Structures are given as C-alpha cells and as structure tokens.
Amino acid sequence: MALALAGAPVASQDRASSGEQSTPVATGSGPLEATIVAETLQVEEQANGSTVRTWLLATRLSAGDEVYYTIRVRNPGKTPVTDVVVTKRLPFGMHYKRGSAVGPACEVQFSVDGGITFDPVARLGSGVDGQSSRKMQATDYTHVRWTLSRPLAPRATALLRFRATFT
C-alpha cells in the first residue's frame, strides 16, 4: 500500500493519509516560529562502486519507508526566548524510530496517551506508584516533545529531528 502525501511536506505542515495536518507546537516566554519538513533518503549504488545519497520530499510513501523529520524552531524576536518546548504529534500511520529524536541541549520526552502526559523513555509505562504496567514500544508513541535547556537567542534557529517508519 502506498501513501500519497498530497503537497507534502510544505514548511509548517505534513499530511497523513486522512489529509489531516499536524504542525509542531512551539511555546516559550516569547514568540517562536516552527516549520517542519519530511524527507526520505534515496541511496543509489553507482557502477564505479560509489554511493549517491539524495534527499527527497516525502510526498509518496510505501509500507516500511523511513521518513526523516526536521523541525526548525526560530526566535524572530529581539530578546532570548526561555522555557522553549516543542511538541510534534506523530502523523497517522507513522511509528517513531526508537532513539532517533535529537535536538540541541534538550530533553526529549514522549507521550503514549495522545499528548496528555509526557515522560522520558525510561519512565514510559510506569504506573502511578512507580510500578511498571507494561514496557511501552516505540509503536505506542503518539507525540514527541523537546524541552530546550537553554534560551533560544534572538534570530536563532534550533533544529529538532526524528525518524519514523510508515506502516
């Protein structure tokens, strides 16, 4: 089965098979701009033995395709923005690739309940009393959240990344 991502990815949006849009949400002590790009990596072996890698916009996916997401969070203001938190809902049909979420000087957390609560990977599935209810799998994740530990300087951009696989 193939998924056509009509017009995607356009900066600040990505589309799932249902046509829904999911823009990253960026909050902080001041204004922030967040955009997202979804790409696939095409690797071609050349006759001479070399490899050519090409980044392509993820406009059409098949089961098993890996998508590389890049979120750009920009401070358009003239003063640093503190308490920056960026949240991205995983698109429909996409499953987070464990260990792939990265960002500059930040803590990465995940939600398995639709974005209501967030925890680091080590705490996912822990009950209220700290007892483990069941080990959560990356396929259970619904949202990824980055909390920057440093202020975002004026006119600066932070790049946040993760990968997901289409099922």
Q: What is the CATH number of the domain that holds 66?
A: 2.60.40
Give the model confidence (pLDDT) of 62-92 as tens digits. 999 999 999 999 999 999 999 999 999 999 9
- What is the C-alpha to C-alpha distance for residues 89 and 28, in angstroms, rounded to an integer? 18
How does residue 133 score in pLDDT terms, banded at 50, 70 and 90? low
Q: What is the mean pLDDT of the chain?
A: 85
Look up residue 97 and give its two tokens. Answer: 């690739």
Domain count across the chain: 1
Q: Is the pLDDT of residue 43 over 80?
A: yes
Instruction: Specify the pTM.
Output: 0.81
- Strand ranges for 14-136 from DSSP E: 25-27, 33-45, 51-57, 60-62, 66-74, 85-89, 94-96, 106-111
Q: Is the pLDDT of residue 118 over 50?
A: yes
Range of the domain at 50: 2-166
Output phi, psi for 36, to 5 deg. Answer: -135, 145
